Structure 1
């Protein structure tokens, strides 16, 4: 599929009945594994990328170029639509957010999320009026493309321990009016809060599993009104947990039984792209 076809497919996923899972690869290899398992779209993860680069997440350690280089590698590794975690748009101003959306589309993405978090511990959330201006700019930039680029507006209240559901809903409703295509409030505390958010807005709601709050089955979230379910950095953390368990076994016991649970080489190798070799006549 070309970018326009991927965008149309991605839009259709949000418009059809029911709920879909959009898992989060952190590199091209994990994208190829997830693409082979029947998922219909993928989303990048800033946490997974940060860990793969040996950096801490949520401390401004990733640049826009870091995010978009990783996103392009994932886009190139799969035929699925890919949306990106664009953090807070990599700039304070609406113009900088708009430029991030344009650059995201230029690497083949068909969606991206913009947070209302400032990155400053003194004032972790933008004032509502400024946050709305930023989402408006993102939505206007997205409408410049000849395909539908899905803008995801994130309210980070609960992520930064501002446990204010009323304000979260107020913000999501304002982002909806500003032109966001998908609404997202990470770390909602429980299923009642998820239901309330879904009932309070008219656009599709994304909920993340594995990042605060409870862990609920897909069917339960679907019944609560959730349209799509992301994984965040939890698959990356699960992979790191497997690595740590294996390393501790070797370090502490001098044994290698972890190999019995490891993915067979043939399976891992089979997920990856074959090497493209030119024929002698081409060289």
Structure 2
């Protein structure tokens, strides 16, 4: 009997740091029109470079849920934790998922017990879900040996926010258990950013949420940036004014997006989107009056 081929994990190399994409799920086709209502099929159709990778043939934006793993300064780091399994969610696409995410994470070289640092770009449902998993009927930290970090501004905002039932449920099953275990640190992220490991810097990117952060990775003169939700989809490179229906401060989100794109344009920095479908990563290049994402395909790496 033929032995199955080993799984392939997509990755990109920045200096001596390898960034691994850990897939969770492709989001349903209705997600794009709901999340980015101004990214209409007519808007998308103006940009041939968006198809077929970032939008379907009808011009509907594609979105995925994925996280990123890397090693920096001797630390195994996970950026965001996706939607999670078995959780009660108001969004039907996220409700009681059962995916093989942890198997994929382990295959990429990041078994849960080995993770040292979990960076949460913000505290939204689809970015904190694998913070915990159910064990003997209780939600416990998935990464028991890790320090989980988010920005102080983010945690303090939600501490004072009048949360609805769905968000309260999310905090109860995915944030509070990590805090109760003493594993969640809220860190100050000043305008110039905050270094949390060699080659790993948190950058303030407010607007989608008040304390949202992006993650900058630097090694041997090369740079990458993981967007979180300050940029949801490549159509926003061409139209930075297109915002998300769940942005807390739409004007600030647009200003952050424009500033980030201006900073990254023509620098050679690799941009990796937490919700970008494959090829997921690329470089910001001027295009018309705005920008486009010039894709940089992942290199399939044979998992150990």
Alignment TM-score, normalising by the size of structure 2 = 0.30
Q: Whose helix fraction is larger, Structure 1's or Structure 2's?
A: 1
Q: Whose strand fraction is larger, Structure 1's or Structure 2's?
A: 2
Alignment TM-score, normalising by the size of structure 1 = 0.31
Q: Which has the larger radius of gyration?
A: 1
